[in-house]
Amino acid sequence: MTPPKFRLGTRMSPLAMAQAHEARDRLCAATGLSTGHIEIVAVRASGDKVQDRPLAEIGGKALWTKELDAALIAGEIDFAVHSAKDVETFRPAEIAIAAVLEREDVRDVLLGAASIAALPSGAIVGTSAPRRAAQLLHARPDCRVVPIRGNVATRLAKLAAGEVDATFLAIAGLNRLGETGTGRPLDADEWLPAPGQAAIAIECRANDTAMQNMLARIDHAPSRSAVLAERALLAALGGSCHSPVAVLTRCSGDAMVLRAVLFSPDGAERIERSVQFYSSDTGAPAQLAAALLEAAPAAISDHFARPQADLR
């Protein structure tokens, strides 16, 4: 009997395509399917169409997912691949995260200087991420942040053209594009990454049991536990694209340490807490969120809310 063909949806960016090929290849290796039995269906997302404004100003993370969500729900694709950090916290009930691939290096890299301390006085730094902007301004309030968006090649070109003195990229994305050795890695213990950073999430329809069972074969349990814990923290914080939040998760077997830092947008205020727990303790991230918000000054807490919704 000829194996069925499956349609894998992805955004059209070079990084998204690299992630789709990685997901396809892992699935083929795990199931014995040939690559010809998984068709990669590329979709141009709304977030790729508008590059001149920060994501938070034009609709948030949904701009990376809504076209693929619609295609998935309509049955036009069978599963979809996303950067986990770009998947909004609350998802449609019809969609489930069926697998998280083994997480890559979570660190950011700095391009344009050897370190944050080495940035010239008054440096113009390009980033549209509130987390990166707030962390930078906390460490270097003399710097000026300007928005910068686009794929890796676009950002590198803007840096080379002198539009900014420095910018940031995720090392995982560079590695997946074969751009190893680009920029200066920042110590993740000092410069915390975004929730979900460096992880690839694969979604399918919530009622497609067969697809969920197939994708479970490439699920990496420690990475899944870490990503779901970080998403649960965001859910309890009510964090959005406007909320400067940074998270670092360390896993050792079933034990995890979740460390989170909240900032005011201008970087002036910073609050940090951590919690150690087992992956089976699904309430620990919410407890950490409550401790953070309890200790946070208004300059931070005003940028967070606690929505009452179920996390998928």
Tell me how crowded residue 171 is: count the other CB atoms within 10 A of its CB.
Answer: 23
Catalytic residue status for 86: yes
Place of tokens 């090929």: 21
Name the catalytic one among 48, 69, 78, 86.
86
Alpha-carbon distances of 66 from 10, 38, 223, 279, rounded to whole Å: 11, 22, 24, 30
136 membership: H or E segment, kind and range: helix 130-139
Those residues with Cβ within 8 angstroms of residue 220's Cβ, 6 or more apart along the chain or in another chain? 99, 100, 101, 102, 103
Name the pairing type of β-strands 200-205 and 79-83. Answer: antiparallel
The b/e string for 42-54 (b: 16+ C-beta within 10 A; e otherwise) is ebebebbeeeeeb
What is the C-alpha separation between 128 and 261, in angstroms, rounded? 18
Q: Phi, psi at residue 31, to the nearest 5°?
A: -110, -15
| Residues labelled as active-site residues | 86
